[in-house]
Amino acid sequence: AIETGVAKITEMDWDAYREKLKERLGLSKEIIRVMIHKAQQKPKKVVYPEGEEENIIRAAHAVLNDGIAQPILLGNEKIIKQEVERIGYDLNEFTIIDPENCDKCEDYAKAFFERRKRKGATLYDSRNLIRKPNYYGSMMVAQGDADAMISGYSTSYPNTIRPALQCIGVREGLSVVSGMYIVIAKKETYFFADCTVNVNPTKEQLAEIAISTADAVKEFNVEPKLALLSFSNFGSAPYPESVKVQEAVKLIKQKRPDLLVDGEMQADTAVVPEIIEKIFPFAEIKGGANVLIFPNLDAANIAYKLMARIGQATVIGPILLGMAKPVHVLQRGASVDDIINMTAIAVVDAESKNIRRR
Ligand code: ACO
């Protein structure tokens, strides 16, 4: 038995805990299995700017052999080849591009300059910038030479998505990108947003984040039920912060009457069905929400991290929503499995963006 300071955990409790963990991992695998299966129907070209990293090379080998994607590794060719040989893979499996020394650098630099010449870019600066792997990878996707980019294994979140925002930008008709996490808790699976990008979204941005999240959730074959969260329940505490959330709900209902959404509401109102049934029977979502939209980045980022660390939820993400073309960001030091899963999500994203364009 172990003394935790709060309670004694006996050997039997540990067994029960391990069983519960297995169940939850089973659930997370199921969600990912849907994406892997979809990706295998239409594999795509995926570029990895951190191609010199061992975990990226191992994931690239796996996605190629599992028919999920055709990987492209960016980085120093000599270093990547040495690493591939050290791991023991066949060099012929890998498409390697060195952004420091490649055929397309000048084309990409000119395209980048064209895109950003009225935003302070010069051709000279563009030539230098494009040699940085996150810029080169983003331009590959922008120019259609790759279908998706996966990055962030060794760079900070802002430094990973800024090049993508500059080279690719948001999807037509949208104004914000946002980050969603799948949170697999003890009993249920939830989708949290925006956990990673917009520090203090306006009511219009919040509505857009909610709609993008709902559409992304449908890709996982899950019917979204959205709750827009606040410290206030349906007008109980009318401060500017909660009124913003209330107004975002109105905007969503106007724009997308097909969506099941309500708010503003407190987090327990959203996830405990009896609270809605007994106290707020007029609410449009019944049986508990599965998509939780947070009022700002503080709340969302803190919530998902607490769920992972204290709530022992399995969290998958961040899944970047709203980009014109797919770019997805890894957690620093992501495992090979995480990179494979994110690649499958990016491939499915690329296909659904293709369908939307057709
Ligand atoms: N949605 C859409 N486009 C955006 C957004 C957004 N949320 N933010 C910036 N842009 C656009 C800008 O309008 C600009 O476009 P333009 O230059 O073509 O006109 C382009 O992106 C680049 O803008 P910058 O000004 O260079 O970038 P900025 O300094 O605004 O940074 C960033 C954007 C990196 C997303 C910033 O908002 C940020 O750092 N957010 C917080 C990220 C963070 O730290 N998250 C928490 C940790 S992540 C984790 O826990 C996994």
Q: What is the 3-state secondary structure (H, E, C) of 32-69?
A: HHHHHHHHHHCCEEEEECCCCCHHHHHHHHHHHHCCCE
Q: Which of 135, 160, 165 to mutate to test the pocket of ligand 1 (most atoms within 8 A of CB)?
A: 165
Q: Is the CB of 196 under 6 A from ligand 1?
A: yes
Amino acid at 256: R
Contact (Cβ atoms closer than 8 angstroms) between residue 152 and residue 273:
no
Contact (Cβ atoms closer than 8 angstroms) between residue 134 and residue 49:
yes
Q: Is the CB of 301 under 6 A from ligand 1?
A: yes
Q: Where are the alpha helices (DSSP H) in 73-229?
A: 77-87, 105-116, 123-129, 133-142, 157-167, 203-218
Confidence of residue 331 (pLDDT cuts 50, 70, 90): confident
Paired tokens of 118: 């009225």
Look at 6-20, 188-202, 289-303, 343-357 and tell me which has the smallest mean pLDDT: 6-20
Q: Is the CB of 158 under 6 A from ligand 1?
A: yes
If you measure from the C-alpha of residue 158 to the centroid of ligand 1, how many angstroms do you get, rounded to a whole number? 7
Distance between CA 166 and CA 90 in Å, rounded? 35
Query: For position 134, what pLDDT does the model report?
Result: 96
pLDDT tens by residue, 306-330 = 999 999 888 888 889 999 999 999 9
Q: Is the pTM of this model over 0.95?
A: no
Assess whether pLDDT exceeds 50 at residue 1.
no
Assess whether pLDDT exceeds 70 at residue 23.
no
Q: Is the CB of 119 under 6 A from ligand 1?
A: yes
Distance between CA 262 and CA 31 in Å, rounded? 25
Paired tokens of 338: 């995480």
Query: For position 15, what pLDDT does the model report?
Result: 54
Query: For position 318, what pLDDT does the model report?
Result: 86
| Percentage of the chain modeled with pLDDT above 90 | 75
pLDDT tens by residue, 69-90 = 999 999 999 999 999 999 999 9
Assess whether pLDDT exceeds 90 at residue 112.
yes
Mean pLDDT across the chain: 90
Query: For position 7, what pLDDT does the model report?
Result: 36
Q: Which of 162, 172, 177, 294 to mutate to test the pocket of ligand 1 (most atoms within 8 A of CB)?
A: 162
The larger pLDDT score, comparing residue 286 to residue 230, is at 230
Q: Which of 113, 197, 319 to mutate to test the pocket of ligand 1 (most atoms within 8 A of CB)?
A: 197
Q: How many CB atoms are located within 10 Å of the residue 255 CB?
A: 13
Assess whether pLDDT exceeds 80 at residue 155.
yes
| Percentage of the chain modeled with pLDDT above 70 | 91
Residue of the CA atom closest to atom 27 of ligand 1: 162
Query: For position 10, what pLDDT does the model report?
Result: 42
Query: For position 103, what pLDDT does the model report?
Result: 85
Amino acid at 299: A
Distance between CA 246 and CA 264 in Å, rounded? 5
Assess whether pLDDT exceeds 50 at residue 280.
yes
Q: Is the CB of 307 under 6 A from ligand 1?
A: no
